[in-house]
Amino acid sequence: MEDKKLIFSGIQPTGTFTLGNYIGAVRNWGPLQDQYNCIYCVVDMHAITVRQDPVKLRQNTMNSYALLMACGVDPEKSILFIQSHVKTHAELNWILCCNTQFGELSRMTQFKDKSQRHPDDVNAGLFTYPSLMAADILAYNADLVPVGIDQKQHLELARNIAQRFNQRYGDFFTLPEPYIQEIGAKVMSLQEPTKKMSKSDENPNACILILDDKDTIIRKFKRAVTDSDAEICYREGKDGINNLMTIYSTITGKDFAAIESEFAGKGYGDFKLAVGEAVADHLEPVRTEFARLSADKEYLKKCYTEGAEKALRYSQRIVSKVYRKVGFVDRT
């Protein structure tokens, strides 16, 4: 690999990503390939921290892999793989678990949220989820981790774990930096704009899926919750409009001032329609490319097999050094 900074990021295999996943993370993954060495993975091992239907998980993992490619990740430029194919993640996870405190994991807001949502299955994997995420990143000694704001706390923990390991065993891990964009790092629900947009929302109108067709996207935006005044401007308290402006801005590249003047004197209906159309048109090529790639299972298989080989080769070097550092006996 060339001598550039290393980027690592991952995404859960929900099959089709939300507009939040896309704007907050995935749409940047393609352009980053030109500036950095990039490693991206579909985190199927994280996915099983909540109950999954095995048939659907397999399908969703394949779809997520193809969708990342459709969104611009090029397996020739990046290492793109499926987490469970690369055993070093699980191996390093164990060591990092032994360097992570119960108290630290208990404070994770995502753990608290998910254990409230699934009170009948608060399993140990859900609890140690951030340690596996730290292993994903540290197995490559990544410098930068592009994510949305909701992952910031997990990343801070990953840095703390790395720092603790370095103190105990001597400097080894790079401390990964979060790479969070200013606009669009938290796309909100279209129905409750104080809440993050998420696929787990029960109201299907709250969330745009990037494989939704044009009519569905426009319909969901038309139903977006706004406020009772009629001015299209970015201001505190106008959560719904702020969210729509953020989405429109990230998709069209226009700044807030330009959007305000474009829609001066126009109504919310016009604005919602414009946002819907811009998003649907922007995502059209992603949908087309996804359909093309999904039909070519052989090619996908070749890509994820090669991706896993490269990821294993890279991370094995690092993880075997970690094994030595903690005092494990060399096997050969």
- List the catalytic residues: 114, 196, 199
C-beta of 29 vs 268, nearer to ligand TYM: 29
C-beta of 69 vs 137, nearer to ligand TYM: 137
CB 210 within 8 A of CB 283: yes
CA dist., res. 27 & res. 217, Å (int): 18
C-beta of 11 vs 157, nearer to ligand TYM: 11
CA dist., res. 87 & res. 84, Å (int): 7
The pair phi, psi for residue 55, each rounded to 5°, is -65, -45
Q: Closest residue to ligand TYM, Cβ-based?
A: 24
Helix (H, G, I), strand (E, B) or coil at 74: coil
CA dist., res. 146 & res. 21, Å (int): 11
CA dist., res. 161 & res. 165, Å (int): 6
CA dist., res. 328 & res. 258, Å (int): 60
C-beta of 25 vs 280, nearer to ligand TYM: 25
Smallest gap from residue 5 Cβ to ligand TYM (A): 15
Contacting positions for ligand TYM (CB under 6 A): 8-12, 20-21, 23-25, 43, 46, 133, 136-137, 145, 147-148, 150-151, 185-187, 196-197
Q: How many helices (H) and strands (E) does the chain have?
A: 14, 5
Smallest gap from residue 178 Cβ to ligand TYM (A): 9
Fill in the amino acid letter for 218.
I
Smallest gap from residue 67 Cβ to ligand TYM (A): 12
CB neighbours of 290 closer than 8 A, spacing ≥ 6? 63, 66, 67, 70, 211
Neighbours of 289 (CB within 10 A): 16
CB 11 within 8 A of CB 68: yes
Give bridge partners of residue 42 from the DSSP assignment: 11, 82
Smallest gap from residue 224 Cβ to ligand TYM (A): 14
Smallest gap from residue 75 Cβ to ligand TYM (A): 18
CB 84 within 8 A of CB 57: no
C-beta of 154 vs 263, nearer to ligand TYM: 154
| 144-146, strands of its sheet edge to edge | 79-82, 37-42, 6-11, 144-146, 177-179
CA dist., res. 81 & res. 304, Å (int): 5
Smallest gap from residue 187 Cβ to ligand TYM (A): 4
C-beta of 197 vs 322, nearer to ligand TYM: 197
